[in-house]
């Protein structure tokens, strides 16, 4: 029997178009021949699928027709869970908000850039040389004149006004003084003024830009020997937490600043410096930093602008090396002999400070 004939019989059988005899005959065939039975099942399944496909298709058309009558979009708007005002504002305006925010950030960065906030280290690290203002100038003139009167014409320095000012301290009895290079840099002339208000002309004989230090020598005929320097210079390192103090001239009167050594590294981790918590101001630059025994352990050279009471001091070991390296011919026949004998060690803080008076100076800088 050919396949197409078999198929026709199957179809007639399934559709119930067979006569009773034909049907009985076909049932017998189904029982006898498994191939026929399988074919029948396959065909039934396949045509069933075709019918289901048609049903689904019809159903979809009916449903789509119904769906088209619904205004789904309006319905969706009604059914959307309504978000809060902020969320809605953000959804509607987020592009504008983003643009505004970008511009704001850009403008801020630009401002910071042009004000040097981003690039300039000096914004954080402020050197403590002080620019003497007009009021101070007139005060000083008065002071100088008064001194003139008192000393009956004794020479005490020029009447013209100093432009910058810092602190310096004696290295030896014969008039060698240490200060910061940034105090005296670019100076036409440099004077030092002692606690009694006497000024002496000095000469810069050595500088070390890498450690920001300068050595001055008093070459004023009015100058007499200072007498033995009471403090020593520490060659080693000082320990964290040690009591320290400064002594300098941020104002016309000397200022004592107590504090502690807070870090072995200075500004941005600079190992040539200590960090100390001592209140310092403009004019403190070049001032000595003492430990509790009265040894010089550093020289104040700057402070951090954001934090009050944080100052930086160059370590003594470094400037001692610079001093040793000064060529002998710069010193001529006036050798720089550092004081090694510390006479302050056993004294109370008050007594120590009293003895420093004659050895710490205001450094006054004159230029055009």
Partner 1 sequence: MNNHLNVEIPADSEVILGILNNSDVVLKKLYLAYFPMILQLVINNNGNEDDAKDVYQEAIIVLYNKVKRGDFELSSKLKTYIYSICRRLWLKRLKQMNRYGGDIKDFEDYLPVEDEVEMQQERDLQLNKMGEALKLLGEPCKTIMEDFYMHNKSMQDICERFGYTNADNAKTQKYKCLQRLKKLFFQQQ
Residues that bind partner 1 (CB under 8 A): 3-4, 7-8, 46-47, 49-54, 56-57, 59-60, 62-64, 66-67, 70, 72-73, 75-76, 78-81
Cα gap 131→79, rounded to integer Å: 72
Nearer to partner 1, 76 or 253 (CB): 76
| Beta carbon of residue 27, minimum distance to partner 1 (angstroms, whole number) | 23
CB 215 within 8 A of CB 205: yes
Nearer to partner 1, 71 or 188 (CB): 71
| Beta carbon of residue 277, minimum distance to partner 1 (angstroms, whole number) | 53
Nearer to partner 1, 35 or 112 (CB): 35
* Number of other residues whose CB lies within 10 A of the CB of residue 347: 15
Cα gap 242→223, rounded to integer Å: 36
| Beta carbon of residue 23, minimum distance to partner 1 (angstroms, whole number) | 20
Which tokens hold the place of 265?
Answer: 């590294």
Nearer to partner 1, 56 or 151 (CB): 56
Q: Which residues of 69-92 are buried (b: 16+ CB within 10 A; e: fewer)?
A: eeeeeeeeeeeeeeeeeeeeeeee
> CB-based contacts of 263: which residues, under 8 Å, 6+ apart?
240, 274, 275
Cα gap 130→114, rounded to integer Å: 25
Cα gap 190→225, rounded to integer Å: 19
Which tokens hold the place of 165?
Answer: 């000012």
At how many degrees (to 10) do helices 20-32 and 34-67 cross? 110
Nearer to partner 1, 12 or 293 (CB): 12
For CA atoms 165, 166, 172, 173, the dihedral sign is positive
Nearer to partner 1, 49 or 222 (CB): 49
| Beta carbon of residue 94, minimum distance to partner 1 (angstroms, whole number) | 18
Q: Which residues of 214-243 are buried (b: 16+ CB within 10 A; e: fewer)?
A: bbbbbebeebeebeebbbbbbeeebeeeee
| Beta carbon of residue 66, minimum distance to partner 1 (angstroms, whole number) | 5
Rg, the chain, Cα only: 48
| Beta carbon of residue 37, minimum distance to partner 1 (angstroms, whole number) | 18
Nearer to partner 1, 6 or 326 (CB): 6
Nearer to partner 1, 11 or 196 (CB): 11
| Beta carbon of residue 7, minimum distance to partner 1 (angstroms, whole number) | 6
CB 246 within 8 A of CB 256: yes
| Beta carbon of residue 33, minimum distance to partner 1 (angstroms, whole number) | 20
Nearer to partner 1, 46 or 114 (CB): 46
Cα gap 171→334, rounded to integer Å: 13
| Beta carbon of residue 42, minimum distance to partner 1 (angstroms, whole number) | 9
């Amino acid at each position: 029997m050919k396949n197409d004939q078999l198929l026709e019989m199957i179809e007639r059988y399934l559709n119930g178009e067979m006569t009773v005899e034909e049907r009985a005959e076909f049932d017998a065939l189904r029982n006898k021949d498994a191939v026929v039975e399988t074919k029948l099942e396959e065909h039934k399944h396949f045509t069933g699928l075709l019918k289901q496909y048609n049903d689904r298709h019809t159903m979809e058309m009916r449903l789509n027709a119904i769906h088209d009558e619904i205004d789904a979009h309006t319905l969706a708007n009604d059914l959307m869970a309504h978000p809060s005002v902020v969320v809605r504002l953000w959804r509607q305006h987020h592009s504008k908000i983003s643009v505004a925010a970008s511009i704001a950030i850009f403008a801020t960065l630009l401002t910071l850039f042009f004000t040097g906030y981003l690039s300039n280290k000096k914004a954080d690290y402020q050197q403590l040389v002080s620019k003497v203002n007009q009021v101070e100038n007139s005060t000083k003139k008065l002071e100088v004149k008064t001194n003139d009167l008192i000393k009956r014409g004794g020479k005490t320095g020029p009447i013209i006004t100093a432009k910058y000012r810092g602190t310096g301290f004696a290295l030896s009895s014969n008039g060698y003084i240490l200060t910061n290079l940034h105090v005296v840099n670019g100076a036409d002339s440099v004077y030092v003024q002692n606690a009694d208000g006497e000024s002496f002309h000095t000469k810069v004989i050595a500088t070390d830009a890498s450690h920001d230090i300068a050595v001055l020598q008093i070459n004023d005929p009015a100058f007499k020997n200072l007498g033995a320097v009471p403090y020593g210079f520490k060659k080693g390192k000082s320990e964290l937490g040690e009591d320290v103090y400064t002594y300098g001239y941020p104002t016309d009167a000397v200022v004592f600043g107590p504090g502690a050594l807070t870090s072995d590294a200075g500004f941005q981790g600079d190992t040539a410096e200590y960090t100390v918590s001592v209140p310092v101001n403009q004019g403190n630059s070049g001032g000595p930093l003492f430990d509790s025994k009265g040894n010089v352990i550093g020289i104040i050279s700057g402070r951090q602008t954001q934090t009050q009471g944080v100052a930086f001091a160059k370590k003594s070991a470094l400037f001692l090396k610079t001093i040793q390296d000064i060529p002998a011919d710069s010193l001529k026949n006036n050798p720089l002999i550092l004081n090694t004998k510390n006479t302050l060690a056993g004294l109370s803080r008050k007594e120590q400070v009293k003895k420093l008076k004659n050895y710490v100076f205001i450094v006054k800088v004159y230029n055009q």
